[in-house]
Copies of this chain bind each other. A is one copy, B any other.
Amino acid sequence: MEKETTFLEELSDLIKAKDETAIHDMMESLKAEDLVYAYNRFSKDEQTELVNLLSPEDAATLLERIPQNQAIAAIENAQVETAASILNELYSDDQVDILAELDTRDAEAILEEMHPEEAENVRRLIQYDPESAGGLMVTEYLAFDANLTVAQTVKDLQEKAEEYEDYHVQYIYVTSHDRFVGVLQMRDLLLSKPNTKLNTIVIKNAFTMPPDARLEDLISFFDKYDFYGVPIVDGEDQLLGIVLRKDLREAESEKSNLELLETQGIVGGEELRSMPLWLRSKRRLSWLSVNIVLNIIAASVIAFYQDTLEEVIALAVFLPVISDMSGCSGNQAVAVSLRELSLGVVKPYELARVLWQEIKVGLINGVVLGFLIGLAAFIYQGNAYLGLVVGGALAINTVVAVSIGGTIPLFLKKMNTDPALASGPILTTVTDMLGFFLALTFAGVAMNYLV
């Protein structure tokens, strides 16, 4: 275990010693995940000091690897000049993602210090919704005029090889008077005669997307076509940028990870334990405090039947089990619906179909679970009627729980509400109330056989 953290202490010592050269060497040798790990382990001061000691290129590499909210914090904590020189080194999509999250005045100050053309580019890109093609595209790409020859193009590539090295040069984009014409593959350049005009070898019916295309549209585009990137073109055929498959997958995987946090009730973005305590506490509490009110409302059903409970106190043992198991069954159905929605195999309006498919599962699982809890109740009190009351309540409640669990994400999606966040609390409130109601009503009816 000691060995595994040695690089952490080493890097920490180098920061204290302000040894820029050794830090640079370490950056080169460290695995990406180790760097992310080390950065998370550092104190705020060490983090700021590390960013200061790094060359702008190295700092940019670091910022690309750590989670985005940490990259934003790093820029916030850096001097304006340092921040500007780091931002100059980032790809345009990352520049925008970070600057959009800063205080307007801070962002303005940094933009003033950046290379004028980089700053101008950011000011243009920042207009787009971050989950649209405009917000996801990069503006580092190769574009050549359709009237150039293969020889002229190759010459330019040769001359500016160093500048282009960081570009995504899998394709060349061909324009004519600033209008997008089509895409050229490197190999087509290779397989053509030097005096051929680009115009004659360019693929002209290339797919493009508008800047307001949504994340889902882009995902289904890249699912369908095996391209490295797609050109983003406006209504006047002007080439605005390229959305890369790589960046899209990152955005998508980020989204699905946040969904996992949301289903467990962590609201307003991601939580990392390196974040301030009050923020972590607040993000969890905002959902918990709504949930506890719902819980108390649900439990008030028990209060309403206090007389029944007083006579059959054994029921008190089984009420939490009914509540918990119905919640579990319902949440399974929620998870399947969330998954099917994200795969696109279910549409928000197909409530009836999902309902029917869940009722069938609910009937089987309800009978099994009802039997198990009924058996436990029978063994506990030696009273078969108690088993019937408890088992019957859980069986029926299971059918209702999976029905609600399966359909509520579709309903919320249709209402344009976030299904990951709200499905759980709505589900458990309804199933708790119904579960308590069923068990206590059944007990009331069977009272003579229970006492």
Interface residues of chain A, those whose CB is within 8 Å of chain B, are: 1, 4, 31-33, 36-37, 40, 65, 67, 154, 157-158, 161, 169-170, 186-187, 189-191, 220, 223-224, 226, 228, 245-246, 249, 252-253, 256-257, 259-261, 263-266, 270-274, 277, 280-281, 284-285, 287-289, 291-293, 295-296, 298-300, 302-303, 306, 309-310, 313-314, 316-321, 323-325, 327-329, 331-332, 334-336, 338-340, 342-347, 349, 354, 357, 360-361, 364-365, 368-369, 372-373, 376, 380, 428, 432, 436
Contact = CB atoms under 8 A, between A and B. Distances in A.
Contacts of A157: 187, 190-191
A220 B32 contact: yes
A48 B346 CA distance: 21
Given A191-B158, A316-B302, A339-B257, A280 B361 contact: yes
- Give the interface SS of chain A, mostly helix, strand, loop or mixed: helix
Contact of A299 (B253, B273, B320, B354): B320
Contact of A31 (B220, B260, B361): B220
Query: Across chains A and B, which 7 residue pairs bring their CB atoms closest together, nearest first?
Result: A264-B335, A32-B224, A33-B344, A40-B345, A186-B186, A249-B249, A316-B316
B261 A260 contact: no
Nearest to A61: B224
A357 B273 contact: yes
A226 B4 CA distance: 26
Contacts of A260: 256, 259-260, 263, 335, 338-339
Nearest to A346: B273
Contacts of A280: 361
A319 B320 contact: yes
A259 to B, nearest CB: 7
A296 B316 contact: no
A136 to B, nearest CB: 15
Contacts of A310: 310, 313
8 contacts: A186-B190, A260-B260, A260-B339, A264-B332, A274-B345, A291-B325, A299-B320, A324-B327
Contacts of A336: 261, 266, 271-273
A376 B357 CA distance: 39
A281 B161 contact: no
Contact of A288 (B298, B313, B329): B329
Given A224-B31, A332-B266, A365-B281, A318 B299 contact: yes
A309 B37 CA distance: 49
Contacts of A332: 264-266, 284, 287-288
A246 B229 CA distance: 12
Given A324-B295, A372-B292, A284 B220 contact: no
